[in-house]
Amino acid sequence: MKRIIYVIGLCVTFAALSGVTAQIIPYTPPSRYTIIDELQTPKPDKGSVVINQSATIHNIIGARRQGTDVETTADGKQYLKYLGYRVQIFSGNDHRTSRDEAFKREKEMKDLIPHIPTYVTYNAPFWRLRIGDYASHEEAYHIQRQLMQSFPRYGKEMYIIREEIRIPLDETF
């Protein structure tokens, strides 16, 4: 009798786990089209908005921020480095398992969202996995919420941190 209950429980567990999948997070590249442009675009039967501002302010909106340093990698790509935000996915100090866990979670993140950079670091005694390079807290928060939906088992460990980030110089935001 116990064996039948055990087999049924095992079957129910496998059936429940087979339906678990991760959601794909869509990527929208940054654009130079600002909210000011959107507001001033005439819309039929909606009226129009006129914004009086100096050209200097209009040019600043959506322009590249000035960084503290420009870094050039071995392959010739240039990155602007400045203080921004990342989402921390994992932090552990168990020297036997934390390294493997950090790299396992990095692989899961890369499989789901390959366009977002991941960073596994070791600062004794902690192994950490952080993802993304976000200029604002809101961008990092948006990705954090999507990751919490995709990986609910990691949700309690995720939080946003402020650290030096790298933005490719060929991108504008």
Q: What percent of the chain has pLDDT over 70?
A: 75
Specify whether the CB–CB gap between 131 and 87 falls below 8 A.
yes
Q: What is the DSSP letter of 85?
A: E
Whether the predicted model's global pTM rises above the 0.75 cut: no
54/51 Cα distance (integer angstroms): 10
115, 108, 104: which is closest to 20 by C-alpha?
Answer: 108
Query: Between 71 and 99, whose confidence is greater?
Result: 99
- HSE (side-chain half, CA atoms, 13 Å) at 22: 17
Taking only the tens place, the pLDDT of each residue in 106-139 is: 999 999 889 999 999 999 899 999 999 998 999 9
Per-residue confidence band for 29, with pLDDT thresholds at 50, 70 and 90: very low
Residue 82 Cα distances to 4, 69, 77, 86, 131, angstroms = 61, 7, 16, 12, 16
Is the peptide bond preceding residue 117 cis, with omega within 30 degrees of 0? no
29/94 Cα distance (integer angstroms): 38
Report the pLDDT value the prediction gives residue 15, as an integer from 0 to 100. 60
| Three-class HEC string of 16-84 | HHHCCCCCCCCCCCCCCCCHHHHHHCCECCCECCCCCCCHHHHHHCCCCCCCCEEEECCCCCEEEEEEE
Q: Counting beta carbons within 10 angstroms of the beta carbon of residue 53, is it exposed (0 to 12), middle (13 to 18) or buried (19 or more)? A: exposed
Residues 6 or more apart from 160 whose CB is under 8 A from it?
Answer: 85, 86, 87, 88, 137, 140, 141, 144
Report the pLDDT value the prediction gives residue 114, as an integer from 0 to 100. 92
The dihedrals phi and psi of 74, each to the nearest 5 degrees, come to -65, -30
Provide the CATH topology of domain 35-168. Alpha-Beta Plaits (3.30.70)
136/160 Cα distance (integer angstroms): 11
